[in-house]
Amino acid sequence: MPGFEIFGDEEKKEVADVLETGVLFRYGFEGVRNGHFKALEFEKKLCEITGAKYSHLCSSGTAALCTALTACGIGAGDEVIVPGFTFVATFEAIINVGAIPVFSEIDETLCLNPDRLEDVITSKTRAVVPVHMCGAMARIDEIKIFCDKKGLILIEDACQSLGASYQGKALGTFGTSGCFSFDAVKTVTCGEGGGIITDDKDVYEKADQFADHGHDHLGGPDRGADDHPIIGTNYRISELNAAVGLAQLNKLDQILSTQRKNKLAIKDAMADLPGVSFRYIPDAKGDSATFLSFFLPTQERARQIAKNLADNKVGCPYWYDNNWHYYKKWHHLKEMKRSAKLAVELADNLRDYTNIVLKESDNIMKRTISMQIMLSWSKQDIENRIQAIIKSFKG
């Protein structure tokens, strides 16, 4: 990852198709677009890859999360369980639909711990959003069992894990809906883009409508003939972005194969390093291999190794100090810095986030380092990296 490492003639061709017609809008204009519907093609391909019945392409992963939550009926005052290790978009989307994020512990999958969900469930809990972080899966089968037992809606945030699977089933297909991101640094990129998959026709239709001002898209060539069954917003993707993503999506098998090969080479070289243990992946065959995540015995050792790696020009994220992905640094959430009142505030349901404490998650994240796996590494690049890693552990 990311897909932009392998931009080539395929992306140029798909974009040229759009530019030659001059139709950048994903709907209508059938008479001049010369049969090119790049967003629609992308959606069909995403269904083919994941095995989902329905797919909708939108403007970002955040838009996908907002749309999926809304299409599943999550709204004002509903509590939604999420992990404290995720990108900020996960809780932003929940707040933006008027719902309330409730943070729960992770385990050594670096994803939600199904054994701790019971600790945070209340009478207001409506949904669980596990986040398949850094390219691999949560214990999604156990999370699904919990949701089914409790009557909760399961929405998967698979924004970082396109192409990953569990027991042969694509991530994003275990819940009512799954969400992906196709932004500039994802495995497959549209530049900006996101996608929703579902097997539920009603959820799909609501998602399709909500992301385009409530249009039902049944008016044919005359967009003005569309009805508006629901109130929506504008989360549309342009044909240019979809065109780039379509070319990338057709390369997914190549991308996954390269990532897995490169990750295995690094992991094998690190296997005997002192104090190193690796992230637990419930189904190693289903790992999309975008990151190699490993643990050190203590926080102090993890910080030292992270510094040594950076000094040796193989810098890796130390998530515990990361501004975007771990709850410790979400000061804007803790202080509720915003430009206007939130819908959940009007209902007097917003939680106090100033004193979030996730002790089990802290113990894991203090010791965690993740190495991004790149597509463009040559054999020599990998060998150089291995030597730099070994040097970092000697320092």
Determine how many CB atoms are found less than 10 A away from the CB of residue 229.
14
E strand map for the chain: 54-58, 79-83, 100-104, 125-128, 153-157, 165-166, 169-170, 177-181, 194-198, 277-278, 291-295, 368-372
Torsion from C-alpha of 351, 357, 361, 363, nearest 10 degrees: 170
Helices (H), 35-129: 38-50, 61-71, 89-96
- Gap between the Cα atoms of 332 and 330, Å rounded: 5
- Nearest to 36, CA basis, from 13, 58, 55, 56: 13
186 catalytic residue (yes or no): yes
- DSSP three-state, residue 381: helix
- Burial string for 83-120 (b: 16+ CB within 10 Å, else e) reads bbbbbbbbbbbbbbbbbbbbbbbbbbbbbbbbebbeee
- DSSP three-state, residue 389: helix
The angle that helices 61-71 and 201-210 make with each other, rounded to 10 degrees, is: 130
Q: Which amino acid is at 213?
A: H
Looking up tokens 């975008």 gives: 290
Q: Which of 12, 38, 169, 186 is catalytic?
A: 186
Instruction: Quote the tokens at residue 119.
Output: 């600790």
- Gap between the Cα atoms of 246 and 42, Å rounded: 5
Torsion from C-alpha of 280, 282, 284, 285, nearest 10 degrees: -170
Give the catalytic positions in this structure: 186
